[in-house]
Amino acid sequence: MVIQSSAPSCEANRSRDVGGIVIGIESTAHTFSIGWVDGLGVPGKSVSAFVRPVEGGIHPREAADHHAEHAGRILRELLDNEVDIADVKAISYSQGPGLGPCLRIGASVARSLATQLDVPLVGVNHCVAHIEVGRERCDCDDPVLLYASGGNTQVIARLDGRYRVLGETLDIGIGNMLDKFAREQGIAFPGGPKIESLALEWLSENPNPSLEGLELPYAVQGMDLAFSGILNAALNLVEKGAPLPAVCWSLQEHAFAACVEVAERAMAHAGKSELLLGGGVACNERLRNMCDVMSLSRGATSHVPEKFLCIDNGSMIATLGRLQLLWGTPTKLDESGVRQDLRTDETPILWN
């Protein structure tokens, strides 16, 4: 299968000015964030608040209450320190996918702001925003994307005006898997960064680590992935007495290698020579390093945006909002309802 591409150059998008600031509101799950881009798409600083459950996972209703509680303060902080309200040209927001109650808070804030300021409203696809912020920031035009976040693990390439999912997790997202493993060890959400530092601790004590006694199932099934088997096996290893830092190291090696293998196969099938990493798990240095090594070995390049743009943030929503404003039409109020199950490939990619 060779995927024909007609991807636009990022340069072409950046040379068009929308004539003002685009605000972006993110509220799909654990983060409520408002950020912005200027008329040429350069991202500003997001102001964010994060749900940090004391125990257990994220409860949609409680997270929505958190977002409602912090929305006013965050908006005030943004307007006091970052953005002149007179320059605002449009309001964009995450329309989906995500947790319904959380999405509805962001959409309500967006609708009221757009109405109050009498500017266009732009509903965007959260997953596509993770892609576009990376593409714009890293200057890669037509990549295979490895989108590794809490709720999503997808390998994506552009075809016929859509981002097509070539492979994805069949059960839980890689970040959720890391968070669940961490939670069972008494590590607070988000678990990914702590697992990364424990893995580094193991490496510093064992410069040439062995997988002996630390093997886990390998999660590749054709072009798809699965992580619940790895999670259970890793939990069993700890229960049987394996050192936690060692299991964290092994968990990263197995789970990341599986993602990178599928990404490499996608690059080969699709004939692409750029890899773009996105989503919260893309903050991980070991995953970044594996992507570099794989890309180098096949004469390709690997790209990843700054860490503050990998985790959920308002500026990535504004990045996509600006593109949709340039190339598409604003979202009508009666079509601005949230879409909990919005898929990556449902959103037309019009910019070229």
Which residues in this chain contact ligand ATP in the complex, by CB under 6 A? 28-30, 98, 126, 130, 149-152, 173, 175, 178-179, 190-193, 196, 279-281, 283-284, 311-312
Q: Which does 190 bind (CB under 5 to 8 A by kind): ligand ATP, Fe ion, none?
A: ligand ATP
Rg of the chain, C-alpha, whole Å: 20
Q: Which does 43 bind (CB under 5 to 8 A by kind): ligand ATP, Fe ion, none?
A: none
Q: Which is nearer to Fe ion, 38 or 312 (CB)?
A: 312
CB 335 within 8 A of CB 154: no
Which DSSP letter does residue 282 get? G
Least distance to ligand ATP from the beta carbon of 58, Å? 9
Q: What tokens does 279 get? A: 């989503």
Surface-to-core class of residue 45, CB atoms within 10 Å of its CB (0-12 exposed, 13-18 middle, 19+ buried): middle
Least distance to ligand ATP from the beta carbon of 115, Å? 27
Q: Which residues bind Fe ion (CB under 5 A)?
A: 149, 312
Q: What tokens does 240 get? A: 């049987």
Least distance to ligand ATP from the beta carbon of 195, Å? 6
Q: Which is nearer to Fe ion, 307 or 332 (CB)?
A: 307
Q: What tokens does 188 get? A: 């607070």
Q: Which is nearer to ligand ATP, 77 or 168 (CB)?
A: 168
Closest of 72, 70, 77 to residue 45, by C-alpha: 77
Q: Which is nearer to ligand ATP, 35 or 98 (CB)?
A: 98
User: For 307-318, b where at least 16 C-beta lie within 10 A, e where not — what string?
Assistant: eebbbbbbbbbb
Q: Which does 302 bind (CB under 5 to 8 A by kind): ligand ATP, Fe ion, none?
A: none
Q: Could you tell me the strand order of the sheet in which 121-125 lies? A: 47-50, 31-37, 21-26, 88-96, 121-125
Closest of 30, 27, 25, 28 to residue 191, by C-alpha: 30
Least distance to ligand ATP from the beta carbon of 171, Å? 14
Least distance to Fe ion from the beta carbon of 147, Å? 9
4 Cα distance to chain centroid: 25
Q: Which is nearer to Fe ion, 108 or 153 (CB)?
A: 153
Least distance to Fe ion from the beta carbon of 146, Å? 14
Q: Which is nearer to Fe ion, 125 or 149 (CB)?
A: 149
CA distance 186 to 327: 47
Q: Which residues contact 178 (CB under 8 A, 6 or more apart)?
A: 191, 192, 195, 251, 255, 281
Q: Which does 311 bind (CB under 5 to 8 A by kind): ligand ATP, Fe ion, none?
A: ligand ATP
CB 153 within 8 A of CB 225: yes
Q: Which is nearer to Fe ion, 196 or 312 (CB)?
A: 312
CB 109 within 8 A of CB 75: yes
Q: Which is nearer to Fe ion, 26 or 274 (CB)?
A: 26
What residues does 95 pair with on adjacent strands?
none
Cα separation of the two ends of the chain: 23
Least distance to Fe ion from the beta carbon of 165, Å? 15
Least distance to ligand ATP from the beta carbon of 249, Å? 13
Q: Which does 101 bind (CB under 5 to 8 A by kind): Fe ion, ligand ATP, none?
A: none
